[in-house]
């Protein structure tokens, strides 16, 4: 697989194709980042991002994970002491997901976001950004109306982080799109005559997993069932066993007219197949014996044709997720014992 394919596979959007093609021509030593509030235990959505970062490391990129402690504070996720303790736990969990420790830099936002130059740039961006623009950017992340002044500053800081971390590429879920567009449209105007570090960077956006129970909307620990690194193997089997999984890969409408995705297939596509060369579905001989898949499309086609039963697909998904999550569970066990 060449560098361009590694950079772009399993993405929903690339901004822009031309810029990313240029990066793919000389990827070695390029810097890419993703930012996360230190707000709890990693979940399956983090696994999707981690897989993308692993792709980028394989392509030659240096990965920066921003442990956004100041952002978490602005979003009322606890005291700084509590947030920083959570940040250290997140670091160990990300490495347990499979990131290369030698090619991954973990940066606390407070290590540069409280400096005078950064704060003055934040104020400059406040002057050039309308209230409604900042609200729209944050609403995509919050999933709700912006309620506090701190929430308006939040996306402006994200737009500046890309500059201050000296990045070549930004990665985020599709819910980060408005923030990235804010960076690309507003930040370059801050460029001085001799300082061109404020230039717009390319961005890639990963999918948002559908709600596990219904297939409608996004998977969220605050509004439905999700899978986290705290879950036991039995928890994962139970949650996947009850997940929405129609024998189709195409969205279908529910009674209210909403499109329902197949979250079981999404997890196979974005979390399992990037990490396994072959996915084996174990079945008794009386039901046709084991099935082996080298790619996602073959598995999805068999589910749609009826060759693969949803219950067997769910069992295989739980098995493979538990294998991926085992190192993270061990890390959490050790952290909880300390």
Over residues 133-167, the pLDDT tens digits come to 998 888 766 655 567 899 999 999 999 999 999 99
What's the pLDDT at 321?
96
- Examine the domain organization and report whether 144 and 246 are in the same domain: no
Residue 303: what are its φ and ψ, rounded to 5°? -65, -40
- Examine the domain organization and report whether 245 and 177 are in the same domain: no
What's the pLDDT at 197?
84
Domain boundary among 206, 224, 243: 206
How far is Cα 197 from Cα 59, in angstroms, rounded to an integer? 24
Domain presence at residue 222 = no
In this prediction the pTM is 0.92
- Examine the domain organization and report whether 330 and 193 are in the same domain: no
What's the pLDDT at 39?
77
- Examine the domain organization and report whether 133 and 83 are in the same domain: yes
* Residue 166, Ramachandran bin (φ over 0: left; ψ between -120 and 50: alpha; else beta): left
- Examine the domain organization and report whether 100 and 180 are in the same domain: yes
What's the pLDDT at 223?
59
Domain presence at residue 223 = no
Question: For the chain, what is the domain count?
Answer: 2
What's the pLDDT at 143?
58
Domain boundary among 159, 189, 206: 206
Please provide the size of the chain in residues. 338
Q: What range defines the domain where residue 69 resides?
A: 3-206
How far is Cα 123 from Cα 195, in angstroms, rounded to an integer? 18
Are 5 and 37 a contacting pair, CB within 8 Å?
no
What's the pLDDT at 1?
86
Name residues of the chain where pLDDT drops below 50: none
- Examine the domain organization and report whether 15 and 153 are in the same domain: yes
CATH number at residue 178: 3.40.50.620
- Examine the domain organization and report whether 182 and 147 are in the same domain: yes
- Examine the domain organization and report whether 287 and 327 are in the same domain: yes
- Examine the domain organization and report whether 237 and 158 are in the same domain: no
Domain boundary among 206, 223, 246: 206
How far is Cα 34 from Cα 334, in angstroms, rounded to an integer? 26
Q: Which residues, in sequence order, are CB contacts of 303 under 8 Å at separation 6+?
A: 247, 248, 249, 265, 310, 313
200-239 burial by CB neighbour count: b if 16+ within 10 A, else e?
Answer: bbbbbbbbbbbbbebbbbbbbeeeebbbbbebeeeebbeb
What's the pLDDT at 32?
98
CATH number at residue 270: 1.10.240.10
């Amino acid at each position: 697989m060449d560098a361009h394919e590694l950079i772009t596979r399993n993405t929903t959007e690339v901004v822009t194709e031309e810029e990313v093609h240029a990066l793919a021509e000389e990827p070695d030593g390029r810097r890419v980042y993703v930012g996360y509030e230190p707000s709890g235990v990693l979940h399956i959505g983090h696994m999707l991002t981690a897989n993308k970062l692993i792709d980028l490391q394989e392509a030659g990129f240096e990965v920066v994970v921003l442990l956004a402690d100041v952002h978490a504070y602005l979003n009322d996720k606890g005291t700084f002491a509590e947030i920083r303790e959570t940040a250290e736990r997140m670091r160990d969990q990300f490495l347990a997901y499979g990131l290369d420790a030698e090619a991954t830099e973990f940066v606390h936002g407070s290590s540069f976001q409280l400096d005078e130059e950064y704060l003055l740039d934040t104020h400059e961006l406040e002057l050039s950004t309308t209230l409604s623009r900042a609200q729209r950017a944050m609403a995509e992340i919050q999933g709700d109306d912006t309620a506090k002044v701190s929430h308006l500053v939040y996306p402006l800081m994200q737009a500046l982080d890309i500059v201050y971390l000296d990045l070549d590429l930004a990665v985020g879920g599709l819910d980060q799109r408005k923030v990235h567009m804010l960076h690309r449209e507003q930040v370059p105007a801050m460029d001085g005559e001799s300082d061109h570090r404020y230039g717009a960077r390319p961005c890639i956006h990963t999918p948002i997993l559908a709600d596990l129970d219904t297939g409608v909307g996004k998977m969220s620990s605050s509004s439905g069932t999700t899978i986290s690194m705290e879950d036991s193997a039995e928890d994962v089997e139970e949650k996947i066993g009850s997940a929405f999984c129609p024998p189709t890969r195409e969205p279908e409408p529910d009674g209210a007219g909403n499109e329902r995705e197949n979250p079981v297939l999404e997890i196979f596509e974005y979390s399992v197949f990037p990490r396994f060369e072959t996915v084996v579905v174990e079945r008794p001989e009386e039901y046709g014996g084991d099935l082996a898949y080298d790619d996602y499309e073959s598995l999805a086609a068999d589910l749609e044709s009826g060759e693969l039963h949803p219950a067997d697909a769910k069992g295989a998904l739980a098995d493979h997720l538990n294998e991926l999550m085992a190192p993270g569970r061990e890390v959490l066990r050790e952290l909880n014992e300390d």
